[in-house]
Structure 1
């Protein structure tokens, strides 16, 4: 009977693959199995003390009531100052919004602007939620493959070919999840030349991994590179990845006032304001000392090297060094067709992920969940000792394949 009451729109979407693997890891752990999770996208670092203290202070001071839907005046000021200081972008108070995570803001933007028949261009590999968000908004997603030999980045000619009169949005995610690719300023300018000739296309710049990049890569965002596009760009960011605040659920965005207003209307009828306590902590994150970021990046660079060495030691796996985020996107073509010790054939990257989880008790994510197969996304933002153990388990499991 329950299916009879389920809205038809739910048949257009799937559960988030990252949430599915997280739930499975928790279930196995609860059953007493020692699983190492390289599938979930969050840093293992604790939220910095001064940011936690700001949240505690908010509780003690009684800042526990409703706030303005789009965020407190203090947080909006911090967001405006952040965009100006780090991205050379100027916004007014009615051009920024805070939400319960960057994910909510992306969802609201699509719900506010996408109608049946509208198309959203999504470069692949992509963050797993983009296509389903578009489907929930009654739109059509148009996937544009980005090749490994091109650094996983969208090419201007491919963008031009993908745009139709029905195109409503282009999504650009840099640094990219799952590949770690970062668009240079010159690469963004090449895409901007295409977009300047097509004024009906809005652009979403998902910059959530902005602060996690490794030299010589330099982060740039499209509105900064090409100011003539600024009134068509929604620049989305948040404190979850760079500040290790996933559980605090604060994202923010800057864009044209008409779009921010539409997103605020939707938010007022769904979640209303994000947590007042989390907003206070986010102010501290954006305005106070961020020197810890350099130390974190150094630790992540060491971990990245561990994973790369692990992959390079395994016949059948290959990966290019990712310049950003905290993932390695490994080509596992060489594993396809091999047989497990139980006699099962690995037919695709889903089978390979299942094999690693079942035999090595290491959780990863299949590339097909991100629109590219056969690949493997490995998240390396975990404790060094556990990462070493995970690498040893993966090497043993791969050596057992025939």
Structure 2
């Protein structure tokens, strides 16, 4: 059987691969805790679940318009107005199967073969693969833990070329938890626009930000520069809807039409029942975020205190999302030679799953999710320490 070169050269998602290995070990009777998956441990709010049930009971199982129900697109536009003061209409929104599909649609719509995308690293594992599938070329812009893994205009200047087409920003960051201020985001975007570089802002974790940091978005900048910016978001993290696959993008109407062409020839509309659940999320209470941010901030502080006691380990303080990205290479010794062997050893000997930093572009590190209960987190860190520190 012939498999295309495009697919043969494509690596599977590292986070999903780790999760599959975890499930396999559990099926064998092993006790394994996953600190690898980016999924809140809170329950989906009851009013959102009820809306899905009501949709089923009322026969809301038919095709919808490809970019989403009109009322859902209007509600998503209202999200940017309500939280960031950016005025948008339904025509500026497409609803997608998670933020991932919104990003894929954007790359397929914006990139021609050979177009370059500036990608600050460390980066989310799926960005390079999606860029490659669209025919683009990833140009990683390295950042440093000494600057909280945040990119600067000076960093970008060193990597821009005549072929640069897109700048991809992610705040709060997966995997580092780094958060740009509103001023920093707009400075980076203004630099890109001045060079006729399109900006994609991935803001999937925007509501999971911890004081004194504040949520920031390029949606107000988009309103002033609608032909140069697109904003991607999702309800997956904010409303614990990871499996229901609810993403959305804010963009110029012509770009929305292009993205709808891609979606119309691949998946068509997203799950109709999911859309009614999402509508309830947008229009109902957001109280779940208060409980989540309180718990995540507490767990973050605990994990930072613990990591700070490990010799040679450094870890910037994340101001958002629910990950830490510690620099662990001081612990590479013996059969631990890189982030992959470190994570393999921890999975096999400690029964704790992490994601190797190599998957995110920095082999010195590993991503640790603290989207688990306090007790599970404490126990897991103890097990990790016994393996790595002896």
Q: TM-score, normalised by structure 2?
A: 0.97
1:381 lines up with 2:371 in the alignment: yes
Which residue of 2 is the match for residue 261 of structure 1? 257
1:308 lines up with 2:304 in the alignment: yes
Q: Once the 2 structures are TM-superposed, how far is the Cα of residue 226 of structure 1 from its aligned partner? A: 6.8
Which residue of 1 is the match for residue 316 of structure 2? 320
- 1: distance between equivalents of 2:247 and 2:219? 18
- Structure 1 contact 192–226 (Cα < 8 Å) conserved: no
Where do 5+ consecutive residues of structure 1 fail to align?
340-344
CA shift in 2, pair 1:225/1:94, >3 Å: closer
Q: CA RMSD in A?
A: 1.3
Which residue of 2 is the match for residue 131 of structure 1? 128
- 2: distance between equivalents of 1:300 and 1:386? 13
Of residues 362, 365, 380 in structure 1, which corresponds to 2:355?
A: 365
CA shift in 2, pair 1:386/1:238, >3 Å: same
| CA deviation vs aligned residue, 1:270-322 (integer Å, no higher than 9, x gap) | 10000111001111111111122111110111111221222122223221221
| CA deviation vs aligned residue, 1:212-266 (integer Å, no higher than 9, x gap) | 1100111211242575333211100010011110011010011011111000011
- Structure 1 contact 114–138 (Cα < 8 Å) conserved: yes
Which residue of 2 is the match for residue 189 of structure 1? 186
- 1: distance between equivalents of 2:350 and 2:365? 18
- 1: distance between equivalents of 2:339 and 2:229? 35
- 2: distance between equivalents of 1:92 and 1:71? 13
Paired residue secondary structure (1:171): strand
Which residue of 2 is the match for residue 83 of structure 1? 80
Which residue of 2 is the match for residue 272 of structure 1? 268
Of residues 93, 96, 105 in structure 2, which corresponds to 1:96?
A: 93
Q: Once the 2 structures are TM-superposed, how far is the Cα of residue 63 of structure 1 from its aligned partner? A: 0.6
Which residue of 1 is the match for residue 383 of structure 2? 393
Where do 5+ consecutive residues of structure 2 fail to align?
none
Quick check: 180-189 or 320-329, which moved more? 180-189
Moved over 4 A (4+): none
- 2: distance between equivalents of 1:189 and 1:204? 12
Q: Once the 2 structures are TM-superposed, how far is the Cα of residue 383 of structure 1 from its aligned partner? A: 1.9
TM alignment of 1:1-400, pairs within 5 A? 2=1, 5-199=2-196, 201-225=197-221, 227-336=223-332, 338-339=333-334, 345-400=335-390
Paired residue total: 390
Q: TM-score, normalised by structure 1?
A: 0.94
Q: Once the 2 structures are TM-superposed, how far is the Cα of residue 365 of structure 1 from its aligned partner? A: 0.8
Q: Once the 2 structures are TM-superposed, how far is the Cα of residue 83 of structure 1 from its aligned partner? A: 1.2
